[in-house]
Amino acid sequence: MKKTTLTLALFALTPFSILASGQNPLKVTEKSLPIPVHASQEVQNTLAVLPAPLNSGSVKAIAVPSTDGEWKAHISEFNHPTEVQGRQAAKDLNVKYGVENINGVEIYTLTPANISEKNANNLFLHIHGGAWIYGGNDALLREAVVIAHKLQMPVVSVNYRKAPVHPAPAALNDIITVWNSLLAERQADSIMMGGTSAGGNLTTAATLRMRDLGMPLPAALFIGTPAADVLKNPDSRFVNDGIDALLGTWDGLIEASVELYVGDLDPKSPYLSPVYGDFTGFPPSILVAGTRDLMLSDTILLHRAFRDAGSHADLHIYEAHSHGFYMLPGKDRTNFYAEMNNFSDAYIGRYNDITPTKVTVTFKLEDILLPESK
């Protein structure tokens, strides 16, 4: 039997200083991942039919647009199927929607067929995802419609300005503008805010901005598989590279989108990368990700940071989910929205028995918006 000294040392968690210098970075050999038997049937079915280009090499092979015109065409092509899905979902789930304008920011207002009595005075402020460049216009309906339907709550979704035409902090300013307008007409405590991916990033960053400004904060946050760091730092960017079936890899398209969004600003600003934020006084939050998710690390890092700052934060991780798989129709989506319902009941339900009183104040826009380049 071969000497097992090294394994012994590891299992025993002995002082690592006595070990020989290691393999840094760690080399991981080629491997095969079978269909995960404990994943939901929908995830198993999805993984069974996903085409080969999902591994990182092939995603990397997709050309990154290089001119403004190419980006515009690419974003338009990319958004199209999601827009079709969003409009279809609104029809299927009987959610009515309209488009309005608040202080120059376009918002979608969504009204589900049934608004539960407890949510009569409540509102969900939705921040859509899409790497800060995709997912706007009717494409934002896909998630917003499901939220309105599942929570039986009115939704306002911010069609914030996006890169490459409008880099940061335009999106943040649009969210803050809408927030400020909402405060003029209702109590902050009656609003839950949230979204997925870039929407999770912007939800967290905008709440940091509101906190820093001394504004009243939302009653609760939903933070879905957020990009908490705009740089390729979180460990799951590497561990799940070529494994996340939705995104494949951070390199290439996503990285290019991030660069367009960040522009000349500091990527380590908490308003851009909330993972560097201080979350003192943050509202309660519900976070979700998957084990095959490129943003798994981002999600668990924010969960820890929220809790370490003394806020209530609940973490939900789903087996073999790639980025945003909880939005796939099926068992896991039903399951997660049940959690979200219980969560919203617990944190905005407190105000259901009383008529909301407007104790909030609005701020002058010129005092609260971040400087934008002209």
Given 172, 202, 206, 239, the residue binding a second copy (CB under 8 A): 239
Within positions 211 to 230, which residues make up the interface with a second copy, using CB under 8 A? 229
Between 74 and 186, CB nearer to a second copy: 74
Within positions 69 to 88, which residues make up the interface with a second copy, using CB under 8 A? 70, 73-74, 77-78, 80-82, 85
**DSSP-assigned states of every residue in 197-238:** THHHHHHHHHHHHHHHHT----SEEEEES----SSS-STHHH
Between 36 and 216, CB nearer to a second copy: 36
SS (HEC) of 275-334:
HHCCCCCCCCEEEEEECCCCCHHHHHHHHHHHHHCCCCEEEEEECCCCCCHHHCCCHHHH
CA-based end-to-end distance of the chain: 71
**How many Cα neighbours within 13 Å face the side chain of 326?**
24
| Site map (CB under 8 A) of a second copy, residues 26-65, x = contact | xxxxxxxxxxxxxx-----xxxxxxxxxxxxx-x-xxx-x
Given 192, 227, 301, 340, the residue binding a second copy (CB under 8 A): 301
Between 53 and 281, CB nearer to a second copy: 53
Rounded least distance, CB 338 to a second copy, Å: 9
The whole-angstrom separation of Cα 342 and Cα 151 is: 10
Given 112, 136, 195, 242, the residue binding a second copy (CB under 8 A): 242
Within positions 84 to 113, which residues make up the interface with a second copy, using CB under 8 A? 85
**What is the enclosing helix (H) or strand (E) of 366?**
helix 365-368
Between 179 and 336, CB nearer to a second copy: 336
Given 95, 123, 170, 243, the residue binding a second copy (CB under 8 A): 243
**How many Cα neighbours within 13 Å face the side chain of 270?**
16
**What is the enclosing helix (H) or strand (E) of 71?**
helix 68-92
Within positions 129 to 168, which residues make up the interface with a second copy, using CB under 8 A? 134, 142
Between 259 and 339, CB nearer to a second copy: 339
Rounded least distance, CB 125 to a second copy, Å: 23
Between 179 and 306, CB nearer to a second copy: 306
Stretch that binds a second copy, among 158-166, 188-196, 292-300, 347-355 (CB under 8 A): 292-300
The whole-angstrom separation of Cα 238 and Cα 32 is: 16
Q: What tokens appear for 300 in the block?
A: 């668990």
Given 198, 215, 324, 368, the residue binding a second copy (CB under 8 A): 324
Within positions 252 to 291, which residues make up the interface with a second copy, using CB under 8 A? 253, 275, 291
**How many Cα neighbours within 13 Å face the side chain of 280?**
3
Given 268, 304, 350, 358, the residue binding a second copy (CB under 8 A): 304
Residue 147, classed as helix, strand or coil, is helix
